A = this chain, B = another copy of it.
Amino acid sequence: MATGRTHRPATRSRGIPEATVARLPLYLRALTALSERSVPTVSSEELAAAAGVNSAKLRKDFSYLGSYGTRGVGYDVEYLVYQISRELGLTQDWPVVIVGIGNLGAALANYGGFASRGFRVAALIDADPAMAGKPVAGIPVQHTDDLEKIIEDNGVSIGVIATPAGAAQQVCDRLVAAGVTSILNFAPTVLSVPDGVDVRKVDLSIELQILAFHEQRKAGEPTAAAHGVAGAPAAPTAPAAAAAASAPAAPAAAAATPGSRKGRPEGDVPAVMPA
């Protein structure tokens, strides 16, 4: 089962650490801003502040690219912009297809930062025949039937999936079969891909849940209240006991809003049931 390629074979040759690669775009953005203000050089300290990272980390990151700085001075902005762009492969043109032109897909198609910096929306694809031909962000939507042809004709190697979760795996399979080797997945599903295909996922729901975790922790710490078995149901130690009641837990009321910082009229919350 080749699910998502977990283990990377330790980036070969002059491998740049994954964590560094993930930060390069951040540096590049900060550098581009400096470049536009015609700032000639920048120190690791300044650039690090602009990118929101530690300066030692930044210097180490750059050291993987080579020694592009000048001691006592800093880094040449323009030169560094070029080096990072080259390292990230942004001096090439990357045609991208977006599959699934719903609200999100349309938003992505319109997103400016998308088109800049080497990426070009080569095609918009949707399964709805009614969408076909309708222009979104100035680009006519094409039907899924032509997916393979579109990929090949445009030499697309990066695909963006913005379909509902149910369709994602199928779309993914077709993209991969047609030659796409990098996928940016916005659908809330785990995609299975063969070796050699990269998948990155963007999941709003997951991000929110992570925030909620920390938020709960923050709220629980000061008062040290919500620990232990907060009045909840479910047998203390025996998990199998849950089989008794088919509706196990969650209820106990999708209770009070946590951040009751400022006095808030109680009961005005529609209490949305989770799932």
Which residues of A are at the interface with B, using a C-beta cutoff of 8 A?
1, 3-4, 6, 12, 21-22, 24-26, 28-30, 32, 35, 40, 49-54, 68-70, 73, 75-76, 78-82, 85-96, 102-104, 106-108, 110-111, 113-120, 152-158, 179, 181-184, 188, 190-192, 196, 198, 200, 202-216, 218-219, 221, 230, 232, 234, 239-240, 242-243, 246-250, 252, 254-262, 264, 269-272, 274-275
Q: Are A40 and B92 in contact (CB under 8 A)?
A: no
Shortest distance between the CB of A201 and any CB in chain B (Å):
9
Q: Are A113 and B204 in contact (CB under 8 A)?
A: yes
Q: Are B209 and A24 in contact (CB under 8 A)?
A: yes
Give CA–CA (A208, B156) in the complex, Å: 13
Shortest distance between the CB of A107 and any CB in chain B (Å):
4
Q: Which residue of B lies closest to A109 (CB)?
A: B103
A75 contacts across to B, CB distance below 8 A: 239
Please judge, given known A-B contacts A32-B275, A157-B259, A218-B196, whether A70 and B25 are in contact too, CB under 8 Å.
no
Please judge, given known A-B contacts A52-B4, A204-B111, A215-B182, whether A248 and B93 are in contact too, CB under 8 Å.
no
A270 contacts across to B, CB distance below 8 A: 120
Give CA–CA (A9, B115) in the complex, Å: 39
Please judge, given known A-B contacts A25-B210, A79-B248, whether A179 and B262 are in contact too, CB under 8 Å.
yes
